Amino acid sequence: MRMPPPRRAGLCGAAASLLLLLGWALLLPGGGRDAVAGWLVGLVFWLGLSLGAMALLALHALTGGRWGDALRPVLAPAVSGLPLFLPLAVPLLAGAGALYPWTGGAAALPADLVHLYLNRPGFALRGAVALCGWALAGFLLLRLRPGGRREAAAALALVFHLAATTMLGFDWMQSLQASFSSTAFGLQWLLLQVLAALAWACLLRPAGRGATGDIAGLLMATCLAALYLGFVQFLVVWYGNLPGKVAWYLPRQASGWVWLGALSLLLAGLLPALALLAGPVRRSPAALAGLGGCILAGLGAHWVWIVAPALGAAAAVAALPGLLAVGGLWLGGASLLAARQPASAVP
């Protein structure tokens, strides 16, 4: 299975973008706020997948292994699409005033924090630095041949990736409720990025049956690590009874949101981890493809659970066209960029 044809994917993204614009103008109760929230869900989901692919390529450049050779044909097109997120992030910047409370100078926040860090110029600059740095790292990983230069680029890319993920995780998601901050949030997002990239690779069924068991092992290890870190983060907040952090969890445990969170936990974590205990599942590309689709659906639900409760149910409704819009535009552009990738970029 290959990436969708660029024209079809691009048309799907354009149609979903028009649907979001229509919702912005006429349908969604929150207007622009809900539309931007839906775009944010799509942006975080597809950017995370692309970044997870980049992290896996960087890791393979440092460690080697047949799993990386098997996954490269499906990871490389995802990495080649990283520059597309620069224009795709513009709607988020344009709509930040409707989405983030700190743009209005929220009274609950210390004035120095608002003015020195949470401000529009800083928000735009940090986003641009992160996205440009990721695009450059992906370019180098795809163009450099195996050897010392690629290994050095991979090591620097991973260090930058951790810092940029932590920074953008706070800017784009935690600052929806700026009284909440978690130093583990960026690391958890990084693990979910790798999980998304592995699930995407399983869904596309890369060649190389000999590496199927290795890929299944990576998928299970990443699932367990993401589950552990998410649980520990919740446990620390619950046990410490920290009011500012508890306030972030309360709306996500109310009414139907808790069921959405449980669904994402089941689809993206518990069910794949249990299924991968069975040897036949780990050795079957078809079974891994099914698990890949299950994990991606769970991750989509997870990002809706992260973004929408702070804004309302209409933001969750806007998440589906947001996922389709960003995904279609990114898939179409990434397919075109991958088709123009020179043969010398492949080892």
pLDDT tens digits along 117-157? 888 889 999 999 999 999 999 999 998 887 778 899 999 99
Confidence of residue 107 (pLDDT cuts 50, 70, 90): very low
Tokens of residue 176, six digits: 């929806």
Greatest extent of the chain over all pairs of C-alpha atoms, in Å: 58
* DSSP H stretches of helix in 173-312: 185-204, 212-240, 243-249, 257-265, 271-275, 279-283, 285-307
CA distance 244 to 298: 27
**Both structure tokens of 232:** 């520990």
CB 295 within 8 A of CB 48: no
Looking at residue 85, its pLDDT comes to 94
At 203, list the tokens. 């869904």
Residue 274: what pLDDT?
A: 93
> Burial level of 63, CB count in 10 A (0-12/13-18/19+)?
exposed
Least confident of 67-81, 186-200, 289-303: 67-81
Q: Are 214 and 65 in contact (CB under 8 A)?
A: yes
- Taking only the tens place, the pLDDT of each residue in 226-283 is 999 888 888 887 777 777 677 778 788 877 888 999 999 999 999 999 999 998 998 8
| pLDDT tens figures, 200-242 | 999 887 655 567 888 899 999 999 999 998 888 888 877 777 7
Tell whether the torsion through CA atoms of 220, 324, 21 and 257 is positive or negative. negative
Q: Which of 284, 320, 270 is nearest to 300 (CA)?
A: 320
The contacts of residue 198 (CB under 8 Å, 6+ apart) are 52, 56, 215, 218, 219, 222, 292, 295
Of 54, 41, 68, nearest to 197 by C-alpha is 54
What was the pLDDT predicted at 208?
56
Residue 189 pLDDT grade (very low, low, confident, very high; cuts 50, 70, 90): very high
All residues at 6 or more sequence positions from 285 whose CB lies less than 8 Å from its CB, including other chains = 202, 205, 209, 212
Mean pLDDT throughout 69-92?
90
Residues 6-53: tens digit of each pLDDT: 555 545 555 655 555 555 544 555 557 888 888 899 999 999 999 999
The confidence score (pLDDT) of residue 157 equals: 95
What does pTM read for this prediction? 0.88
Give CA–CA dist 184/191, Å, rounded: 11
The pLDDT value given to residue 180: 66
